[in-house]
Structure 1
């Protein structure tokens, strides 16, 4: 998860990118990069996909939208984004300072955003193209065919869905027999 200043429309862009599939789970273009908008975007991603595969971790930089850079002598500080992550049981991982490679996948996505965003009238249309139409070079299947981020996401969560179904089915059987 990160913020980027758009040159095509002057907006601040924030997205949550799934690490494995590269699918954008939620995002938006805003007038300002704020903690409140950061929470809004992460909450949207969490609520949209919690039934499939709850978000367990989020990687961010040390930006003030995500992290209180001023801390007490024990290293503690109260920051709304950090508090939100704790409440949602999301492990907030901070990228190393001056090491953009830690968040490299999202930095690469911002490159794609810069290159192609102006071709789409709305942010939502751009995200649709990125997630569902454009095959991703790093996402190929067993036959070497490239997948879109959405195809890769659904392929990955199929196993998770089956495990959840089996768990719920077995739980129901156990409850019925006791």
Structure 2
């Protein structure tokens, strides 16, 4: 029985077992056994009790991690740290400055989430360098929601400048009756893009909505599964993050009805859903912010054509510079 022992251990697991057997099996007192092995009687008693309760496996080292960590960084703060690291690839000092917290705490969170080294991430794309994919179309689809601020009438600040952008937002908010935020700035709403990506082919399905409720998310899932079925793809599994709409009973029931196995990513690990994160970046650069739109309706009108271009004509570097649609089963001669 050979197991690694921590540096300060007085006894190896084998010696602990011998000590415990002297007390439990041969009737030695803890004090006598402790003297034999040059440890305290408390130590001898501890190993004897653990041996009596767990047998020889109880002689191995246990984690020294405390059962409760009241000072651990709260989950909402962890999400902010991961977001800044993943989206903007900031270091602990910059993240700490933005969130008004020690950089050492930020670093500890990054280590715990496995994103402390940018060498683990492709700096250009934000995806993990190690690529993987399921073998067949439909084996797994990724789902997520991309949030975009709506374009005000007359265009947004990226193209018309800050001052004119504010005037456009105010005018649009007056027309639509939109509310104001805590800084008394007019709000014109958010566009929620529900996106679905096939893991093997990278074929994308996108719907724009006014919310990310469980009802909307499940309706999009039904539509996407039907859309893929029309193209000869039978969906088996669906991977989502831990958003409330994907943790709902309605989502689980809909997956069961469609014959899908629902899976969720590990909390605070955006790498797990890297393909759809990368698609969202392509979506933002290639459609949402690529050109001037004079209204939200004008931008949404351009979405179907961009998705078609992405699926049918845009070469994808991760699949040999072929377009995603060429990897679907129903296209004769394209599936290899």
- Same fold? TM cut 0.5: yes
> Where do 5+ consecutive residues of structure 2 fail to align?
1-142, 152-189, 292-298
Q: Aligned residue for 2:325?
A: 150
Name which one, 1 or 2, has greater alpha-carbon Rg.
2
Q: Aligned residue for 2:144?
A: 2
Is it true that 1:67 corresponds to 2:247 in the alignment? yes
Change (3 A) 1:138 1:8: farther
Higher strand share: 1
Equivalences for residues 39-54 of structure 1 within 5 A: 39-50=218-229, 52-54=232-234
> Where do 5+ consecutive residues of structure 1 fail to align?
69-78, 141-145, 162-178
How many residues align? The count is 143
TM-score (norm 2): 0.40
**C-alpha distance in 2 between matches for 1:154 and 1:113:** 25
Whose RCO is larger (CA < 8 A, sep 6+)?
1
TM-score (norm 1): 0.72
* Equivalent residues of 2:147, 2:191 under 8 A apart: yes
Q: Aligned residue for 1:99?
A: 269
Change (3 A) 1:2 1:111: same
* Equivalent residues of 2:233, 2:328 under 8 A apart: no
**C-alpha distance in 1 between matches for 2:306 and 2:233:** 24
Is it true that 1:23 corresponds to 2:203 in the alignment? yes
Q: Aligned residue for 2:137?
A: none
User: How much is the aligned-residue C-alpha RMSD, in angstroms?
Assistant: 2.2
Q: Cα offset for 1:132? A: 1.2
- Tell me which stretches of 4 or more aligned residues in structure 1 moved more than 4 Å: none
Q: Cα offset for 1:88? A: 1.2
